[in-house]
Amino acid sequence: MNALAATNRNFKLAARLLGLDSKLEKSLLIPFREIKVECTIPKDDGTLASFVGFRVQHDNARGPMKGGIRYHPEVDPDEVNALAQLMTWKTAVANIPYGGAKGGIGCNPGDLSISELERLTRVFTQKIHDLIGIHIDVPAPDMGTGPQTMAWILDEYSKFHGHSPAVVTGKPIDLGGSLGRDAATGRGVLFAAEALLNEHGKTVSGQRFAIQGFGNVGSWAAQLIHEQGGKVVAVSDITGAIKNSKGIDVPSLMKHVKEHKGVKGFHGADAIEPQSVLVEDCDILIPAALGGVINRENANDIKAKFIVEAANHPTDPEADEILSKKGVVILPDIYANSGGVTVSYFEWVQNIQGFMWEEEKVNDVLKTYMTKGFKDVKEMCKTHDCDLRMGAFTLGVNRVARATVLRGWEA
């Protein structure tokens, strides 16, 4: 089942639990606006190249739309639609005043020079500048983009609208980016895991973690878990996978990854098959890479008691059923990885106020939001007698539905 089908399925189950009428249900699913633009740029060798840029703006009942911009060769419209919709529910679960969006450009950023990427980003911004904005739609980095991409968008947008640092988040610190943004998703994963473990009378300290994916989110989660006394026993990334049942020395691994561009060959652990990291003996599994990695093929072999979804949509609906029968508790992505968008919200707030926060404040307020979010999800689980995934979906969908009705938008 692809991401869109799975997201629609979860939405429909939540709508049924909430007893939404069919007209409202239908209007909540339809995107507010889908934008598709041609971006033609001169390449460094003087030839012209054309790329397709797009933006799906899903819902703005609760505030400006929010979501990443990715540069990737296979940009699937269905997936972008699913991710835009997921952002709508995620911002509602986090209780921040945004709706959902997603977008990007179909290109392979590795094949383009820095100056070609800059020209492409600026042309894309010229095409959509009147459709994004501080109170309309606030983009952020995603796969294949980063703080520099955001800096180019900010500069190009500001040529039309005056200096507008709040038009994008995930910016470099020097241009109004927030302290603590880089670690935010990984730190949110830690706070989410803490909330879940506290519920079961445990703490992070002494628990064994396996982490699939060692990019920004996975590596920050590993460092922060290690600092809290958690044992990271297995890790994988695109280069390979490693395990050490006594616990991996995470600071040494970080040094190794910096030098060798991956976990492969790390001396403080044994090499294992990349897929087997998901089925390693551990207490908590954190999938922090791609979607659909936990499926009916491997769900029966998973030994973790808890799964904290740091990636978007890592668990297939079929695997969900198998795991819940086994008594595995899954903390869903729309809550567990919302630390990133929450700190993006803090960045936007700081830019609008023209007043920047200390990093300690960013982290403290993030913890408050993540802890409250978990309580809210648990409330919905009690009300509707459902698992955490449905608890999070009913919470998000209900907040958006209420805002939609209060604004008089229901069909």
* pLDDT tens digit sequence for 148-194: 999 999 999 999 999 999 999 999 999 999 999 999 999 999 999 99
Residues making up the binding site: 66, 90, 185, 216, 344
> Which residues are annotated as catalytic?
102
pLDDT at 313: 87
Look at strands 270-272 and 208-212 and give their pairing. Answer: unpaired
Other C-beta atoms within 10 Å of 163: how many?
A: 11
Query: Going by DSSP bridges, is the β-strand pair 284-287/270-272 parallel, antiparallel, or unpaired?
Result: unpaired
**pLDDT at residue 397, as a whole number:** 97
**pTM metric for this prediction:** 0.93
What pLDDT is stored for residue 373 in this prediction? 97
Task: Please report the pLDDT score of residue 409 as a whole number.
Answer: 86
Whose tokens are 């507010």? That residue is 32
Q: What percent of the chain stands above pLDDT 90?
A: 89
Write out the binding residues for NAD(+): 185, 216
Whether the pLDDT of residue 357 is over 90: the answer is: yes
What local confidence, expressed as pLDDT, does residue 292 receive? 84
Q: Does 217 have pLDDT greater than 80?
A: yes
**pLDDT for 411 beyond 90:** no
Q: How far apart are the first and last CA of the chain?
A: 30
The whole-chain average pLDDT of the chain stands at 94
Measure the CA angle with vertex 130, ends 403 and 354; round to 5°: 75
| pLDDT of the residue at 39 | 97
Q: How far is CA 370 from the centre of its chain?
A: 14
What digits encode the pLDDT tens for the residues 279-317? 999 999 999 988 889 999 999 999 999 999 999 889 988
The binding site for substrate consists of: 66, 90, 344
> φ and ψ at 292, to 5 degrees?
70, 20
Phi, psi of 396 (to 5 degrees): -65, -50
Tell me what pLDDT residue 145 has.
93
pLDDT over 70 at 228, yes or no: yes
Q: Are 241 and 306 in contact (CB under 8 A)?
A: no
For residues 146 and 140, give the distance between their C-alpha atoms in angstroms, rounded to a whole number: 8
For 56-87, write each residue's pLDDT tens digit: 999 999 999 999 999 988 887 888 888 899 99
pLDDT at residue 1, rounded to an integer: 65
